[in-house]
Amino acid sequence: MDMASPAEQSPIVDPSVTARRDPAWTAGVLKPPPAVFPRRPILIANEIYRHSVYGRRHPLSIQRVTPVLDLARALGWLGDGQYLDCLQAGPEQLTRFHEPDYIAAVAEAERTRHVPDEIRDRYNIGRNGNPVFAEIFRRPATSSGASILAGTLLAGVERGVIHSLAGGTHHGRRAMAWGFCFFNDPVLGILAMLDHGLERIAYVDLDAHHGDGVQDAFHHDDRVLTISVHEDGRWPRTGAVDDRAGGMARNLPVPQGFNDSELEVLIDSAVVPLVDRFFPDALVIQTGADGLSDDPQAKLDLSNRALWAAVERLVHCAPRVLVVGGGGYNPWSVARAWTGIWATLNGIDPDVPTQGAAEAVLRGLEWNHSRGRNPPEHWFTTIADPPNRGPVRDEIHRLAEAVLSP
């Protein structure tokens, strides 16, 4: 995801944008939840992702959402009673955060499959990893619709958990495509919660890349605490430990080789205490899978078990929880990791062999990458990675101390 930075205005969003309270804007994407909600978690997704790709050579050419649906169903972990098909957000919903002219430019790029030079340069569409493709508007508008729906549903209950698989596009800026993200669905989901009456939202980002777009959106808003655990020095090269975004952000840039034991320490000794101290009405967890050791993008060394353990620890920190996806560029590691997250949210142990239909789902995946030419057998036959525990470096303890200091 390394790319040049185009000339642009400050990414920090004017506080008047997020301060507005107007729940009517969410109406266009609302649907009734399954009858089991909020007693049991529900999963929100859409079939648009089964055939939509960014382009054959793009890192997001892989299938990521539908393999999770297929795998969870094959394992008996997802019935129709817990699944909700989402609607596409339209301009009325997207303009709650994004600039109308930018939204129109993305829609026009889908209609014509062409971006004039002026539009490309102004909005970063069609360059720097943000390609023009067949569903350039519909795909991100659908994930945005899912997060808006999830945020609205959660705001209407006392307790509940929703898993929005295609969400997590945390780099999207108000008027610019950034880091493969055209719209910022976590921001829209948080705004839906706030506009429907919740007062305090915590956002925890576990992606290998800094959650810059969400932090910048709520830079001036004391109702939203953003916490990001990400690889130090990786694109977008923001999120230093001393970056607190006016007081409402905490950043934990971790070193290369970051292992399961180190994530556990940071979650237990830093992230959970920060969330507990904020005492949120709701929590959003971004679960990018690009920090896993099998992912080609980052240089972190986590197993999917570490991601599951982090989610299990965090999900108890607030009465309402929205879990979204994020990065992840190996189709097998993403499918297994996110399926395991869904199992974890339902109290199911994901450490199982696949067999039968579930194994067939994994054997049917393709990856146009050198590491996809001869995949190891366990990518097909197991859900859980081998654990990767290791020494906890002094740097990790220093990070925890730094973010907890006043």
Q: CB–CB of 151/192 below 8 Å?
A: yes
Beta bridge partners of 209: none
Phi, psi of 165 (to 5 degrees): -60, -45
Cα–Cα nearest to 246, from 266, 222, 279, 270 = 222
**Whose CA is closest to 306, among 386, 193, 376, 399?**
386
Tokens representing 119 are: 């539009």
Active site residue 170: no
Query: Reading across the β-sheet that carries 201-205, which strands appear in turn?
Result: 83-85, 42-45, 160-164, 320-324, 282-286, 201-205, 224-231, 249-254
Spatial CB neighbours of 100, under 8 Å, sequence gap ≥ 6: 91
Reading the block at residue 283, the tokens are 């929590």
For residues 292 and 307, the answer to whether their CB atoms sit within 8 Å is: yes
Check 171, 209, 210, 220 and give the catalytic one.
Answer: 171
Quick check: 37 and 210 in contact, CB under 8 A? Answer: no
Catalytic residues: 171
